[in-house]
């Protein structure tokens, strides 16, 4: 049997196993092993199965993942970032739709400490949604705005998705982080514009004014948030100033967050253990998928299927924008059914040779991909952020209600994607070729 035929059967089997609910990591490992075995025999297949798990994971760069994840969970369990919402309220209280704008701003700030969309949506949902509903916001809109705001988490550094993309695509993680800021900020601005527009068009959804008795004085809010802002400044300053590597920045951020949470008595022993437990669960499930993706990359390369697919797509002579729109369509569909990490790690081994063929800048693509995957977090039927918000608010609204509330934010996301494809320089990203 030819390598390409074996590779094709392996990919079809992979899809069948995924649909059969075999964990993504184990499906990838199994089809990669069998694909290499069928093409080249047992010895090379066994060699890959033996060495890949350890060799992939034993990496200094990958160590940044548990560090940033730990920082996020410590922030989440201790609530040290809750002051960001009060600071945003103090800053924006005179604007129409100020609570929704404040929650978007707070999501962006929380993202800078956390790196996870889900944690961002859960933390902000608990704080902001009850207050928004109390102030007269439409329930669906309040839930939708936080679910969408959470997606900013993966674009603003540190971003776990970007770290894993950087390891697989072998590009600089700090460059990815820098490039992500533009898209994250553009998304936040887009969301704020939606809120402002709705406050004029539908004031029954988004009240124009806020009861200022609940707004803390700016100085007090700044004092409360000061330590968190100091941690953020330390991480970004150290990382982008070339003092720390991404891994070191993650460890410093986790240590500072833990130190502050302990000193300010915001975290107890149980919450520390929960943070550690959540961290290892997240890292174990994520990075085992990474092992599977590394094996799939080897299988696609050895069978020649990866090159074959890129040659076929190359033969169509797609324009750059046609290729990108095709990728958008694929990720919109995948995002409906797959976790962002699963969707990214299954597709990257196939897409990377195609992107090389079309000379697409891999830093640009990393940010573009993360934005696409984040849209998957708020689209039905498996929009994870929507489920998180629903679990936070209980009977306040239905799942469909949260999806309805996301509508205008989804439109904004699509506009940002369009902007990324056609006017990448607007986002201060390297222009693709």
Binding residues for other proteins, per CB under 8 A? 17-26, 29-30, 33, 46, 49-51, 53-54, 57-60, 62-63, 66-67, 70, 244, 247-248, 251-252, 254-255, 258, 269-270, 273-274, 276-277, 279-281, 283-289, 337-339, 341-342, 381-382
- Write down the least CB distance from residue 62 to other proteins, Å: 6
Min dist CB 330 to other proteins, Å, is 15
For residues 380 and 337, the answer to whether their CB atoms sit within 8 Å is no
Residue 48 beta carbon to other proteins: minimum distance, rounded to whole angstroms: 9
Q: Distance (Å, rounded) from C-alpha 118 to C-alpha 73? A: 11
Q: How far is the CB of 382 from other proteins (least distance, A)?
A: 6
Report the C-alpha gap between 229 and 112 in whole angstroms: 10
Q: Nearest distance from residue 134's CB to other proteins, in Å? A: 33
Helix, strand, coil % over all residues of the chain, rounded to 5: 80, 0, 20
Cite the DSSP H helix spans in 93-151: 98-114, 117-134, 139-150
For the bound state, the minimum distance from the C-beta of residue 34 to other proteins, rounded and expressed in Å, comes to 10
Rama region for 21: left / alpha / beta (φ>0; ψ in -120 to 50; rest): left
- Which two tokens mark 216? 């803390």
Whole-angstrom Cα distance, residue 383 to residue 367? 20
What does the CA dihedral 86, 91, 96, 102 come to, rounded to 10 degrees? -40
Instruction: State the nearest-atom distance from the C-beta of 210 to other proteins, in Å.
Output: 39
Nearer to other proteins, 66 or 353 (CB): 66
Cβ proximity to other proteins, 79 vs 304, nearer residue = 79
**Minimum CB distance to other proteins smaller for 114 or for 429:** 114
Nearby residues of 222 by Cβ (< 8 Å), 6 or more positions away: 87, 90
By C-beta, is 46 or 321 nearer to other proteins? 46
Nearer to other proteins, 60 or 200 (CB): 60
> What is the C-alpha to C-alpha distance for residues 227 and 258, in angstroms, rounded to an integer?
12
In the bound state with other proteins, the residue whose beta carbon lies nearer, of 67 and 372, is: 67
- On the question of a cis peptide bond just before residue 381, with omega within 30 degrees of 0, the verdict is yes
Q: Which residues are within 8 A (CB) of 78 and not within 5 positions of it... i.e. 6 or more apart? A: 257, 261, 266, 267, 271
Nearer to other proteins, 15 or 426 (CB): 15
Closer Cβ to other proteins, 101 or 246, answer by number: 246
Let me know: does 31 contact 248? Beta carbons within 8 Å.
no
Helix segments in 20-116, DSSP class H? 24-40, 42-57, 64-78, 83-92, 98-114
By beta-carbon proximity to other proteins, the closer residue of 342 and 353 is 342
CA angle 328, 147, 253 (to 5 degrees): 95
Calpha distance 61→29 (Å, rounded)? 22
Cβ-based neighbours of 87, under 8 Å, separated by 6 or more: 106, 109, 218, 221, 222, 224, 225
Reading phi first (left if > 0) and then psi (alpha if -120 to 50, else beta), residue 45 is in: alpha
Do residues 75 and 257 touch, judged by C-beta distance below 8 A? yes
Residue 23 CB, shortest distance to other proteins, in Å, is 4
Q: CB of residue 395 vs other proteins: minimum separation in angstroms?
A: 22
For other proteins, the closer CB: 59 or 209: 59
User: What minimum distance in Å lies between the beta carbon of 426 and other proteins?
Assistant: 34
Q: Which is nearer to other proteins, 281 or 311 (CB)?
A: 281
User: Can you give the C-alpha Rg of the chain in angstroms?
Assistant: 22
The least distance separating other proteins from the CB of residue 18, rounded to whole angstroms, comes to: 5
């Amino acid at each position: 049997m030819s390598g390409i035929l074996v590779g094709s059967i392996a990919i079809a089997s992979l899809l069948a196993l995924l649909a059969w609910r075999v964990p993504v990591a184990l499906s990838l490992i199994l089809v990669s092993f069998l694909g290499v075995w069928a093409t080249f025999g047992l010895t090379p297949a066994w060699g890959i199965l033996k060495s890949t798990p350890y060799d992939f994971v034993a990496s200094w760069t990958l160590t940044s993942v548990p560090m940033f994840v730990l920082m996020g969970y410590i922030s989440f369990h201790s609530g040290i970032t809750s002051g960001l919402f009060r600071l945003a309220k103090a800053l924006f209280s005179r604007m129409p739709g100020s609570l929704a704008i404040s929650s978007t701003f707070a999501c962006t700030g929380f993202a800078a400490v956390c790196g996870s969309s889900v944690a961002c949506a859960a933390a902000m949902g608990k704080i902001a949604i009850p207050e928004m509903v109390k102030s007269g916001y439409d329930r669906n809109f309040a839930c939708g705005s936080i679910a969408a705001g959470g997606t900013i988490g993966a674009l603003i550094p540190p971003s776990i998705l970007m770290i894993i993309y950087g390891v697989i695509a072998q590009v600089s993680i700090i460059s990815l982080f820098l490039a992500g800021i533009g898209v994250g900020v553009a998304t936040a601005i887009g969301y704020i514009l939606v809120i402002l527009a709705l406050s004029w068009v539908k004031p029954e959804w988004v009240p124009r004014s806020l009861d200022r008795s609940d707004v803390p004085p700016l100085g007090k809010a700044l004092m409360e948030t000061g330590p968190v802002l100091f941690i953020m400044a330390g991480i970004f300053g150290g990382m982008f100033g070339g003092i720390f590597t991404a891994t070191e920045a993650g460890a410093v951020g986790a240590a500072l967050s833990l130190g502050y949470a302990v000193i300010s008595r915001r975290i107890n022993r149980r919450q520390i253990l929960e943070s550690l437990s959540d961290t290892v669960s997240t890292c174990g499930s994520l990075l085992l998928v990474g092992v599977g993706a590394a094996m799939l990359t080897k299988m696609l390369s050895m069978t020649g299927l990866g090159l074959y697919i890129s040659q076929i797509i190359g033969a169509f002579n797609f324009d750059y924008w046609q290729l990108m729109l095709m990728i958008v369509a694929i990720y919109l569909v995948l995002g409906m059914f797959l976790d962002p990490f699963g969707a990214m790690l299954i597709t990257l081994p196939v897409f990377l040779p195609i992107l090389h063929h079309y000379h697409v800048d891999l830093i640009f693509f990393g940010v573009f991909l993360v934005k696409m995957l984040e849209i998957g977090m708020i689209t039905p039927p498996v929009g994870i952020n929507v489920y998180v918000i629903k679990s936070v608010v209980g009977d306040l609204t239905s799942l469909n209600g949260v999806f309805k509330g996301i509508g205008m934010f989804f439109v904004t996301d699509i506009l940002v994607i369009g902007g990324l494809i056609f006017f990448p320089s607007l986002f201060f990203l390297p222009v693709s070729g």
